[in-house]
Amino acid sequence: MKSIIVALALALLAALAGSAAAQDPASGAEQIPIPDPPQLDVKGYLLVDHNSGMVLAASNADERLEPASLTKIMTAYVVFRELAKGSLSLDDQVLISEKAWRTEGSRMFVDLGKQVAVRDLLRGVIIQSGNDASVALAEHIAGSEATFAELMNTHAKRLGMTNSHFMNSDGLPHPEQYSTARDMALVTAATIREFPDYYAWYSEKEFFWNNIKQPNRNLLLNRDPSVDGVKTGHTKAAGYCLVSSAKREGTRLTSVVMGATGPEARAQASLALLNYGFRFYESHQLYAGGQPVETLRVYKGDSKELPVGPAEDLWVSTPRRQYDKLSAHLEKRPDLQAPIAQGEAVGEIVVSLEGKEVRRVPLVALKEVAEGGIWAKARDGVLQWF
């Protein structure tokens, strides 16, 4: 009888321990599945981790929609590119044409025939969503808005925005102008990555020009200190749109909401997505760009060894507390043979979470291996044959 009581007590203790382990995230027990993203009354949305580029939530992310003033993210990006290559200066003066002055919709209120600095026009585009400022910049850079739109489309193609086409710089309705939530996330990521100093303008809450003070229409700038951009948009056909980006504890997330029912609705939907992403996901840098992760054997070269690694920092997004379940392996090109150029792809780095592939990036040569001499070629030829 005594042995039965002891056995029952031990069984009870084991059950209690198992229950505690199931509830303790640090125990290594199976985690509670991540809930579905919030249900949003919008035409399309996307939530993406900026560092890894991994999509955390999406709905109709590739549906072609009218972008309204989200278009100005691409407009500003093109201007930033012109500034970077030296063909434009922030202090350059732009003559305001009649077309720019008469442009309808949201305005910076520039004066006809006056000259305005590129710096001020850019802030008018970014903070006030000025259509007049957008047209003025487009005409100054490309001669006409139509030609500037060609530049926009060239950059869109280079960035992989396969479902976007632009016909103007301001986002006013046009039957041949469209984009998607995914494409808007791509140009936003490029802006943050390439032009962090200019991107800071997207966090400014107001802009004073021509004795008129106008607020930034991004309501989240006043509601969440981690939000530092990006851009609102609205037309009757497009509905209310908002691209938002926020950084918390080293993780940056970007949300795109298109076709909400009102300004408050787009703000609430965007904040819901950001909070969902920060609550249930985290980012990890696995490898630093340009740093070797392995050394491979090279044949018939002036060196036998080739350090390889990712060209850029390799980040991965995972559900919270799942980092220890990540694994990575290299898929290497067999029988590497010189010459090999620095930066040449020689395989891929494959990252998996519990056996399921989550990221795949090129594995590149981190130095050049030139063709070897006659003796090296002959020796390695024999080695390869055997």
How far, in whole angstroms, is CA 188 from its chain's centroid?
Answer: 6
Active site residue 352: no
> Could you give the CA distance from residue 145 to residue 96 in angstroms, rounded to a whole number?
13
Q: What is the DSSP string of 35-55?
A: PPPPP--SSEEEEEETTT--E
**Residue whose C-alpha is closest to residue 134's, from 144, 124, 143:** 124
**Residue whose C-alpha is closest to residue 61's, from 42, 74, 75, 76:** 42
Cross-strand bridge partners of residue 209: 212
The count of residues in the chain is: 386
Query: 126 CB contacts (<8 Å, ≥6 apart)?
Result: 72, 76, 201, 202, 204, 231
Catalytic residue among 52, 97, 106, 129: 129
**Residue whose C-alpha is closest to residue 260's, from 278, 275, 272:** 272
Burial pattern 270-290, b for ≥16 Cβ within 10 A else e, equals bbbbbbbbbeebbbbebbeee
Active site residue 69: yes
> Could you give the CA distance from residue 240 to residue 42 in angstroms, rounded to a whole number?
9
Catalytic residue among 69, 244, 245, 317: 69
Active site residue 164: no
Task: Report H helices in 103-144.
Answer: 118-126, 131-142
Catalytic residue among 72, 179, 245, 317: 72
**Residue whose C-alpha is closest to residue 247's, from 221, 234, 231, 228:** 228
Catalytically active residues are 69, 72, 129
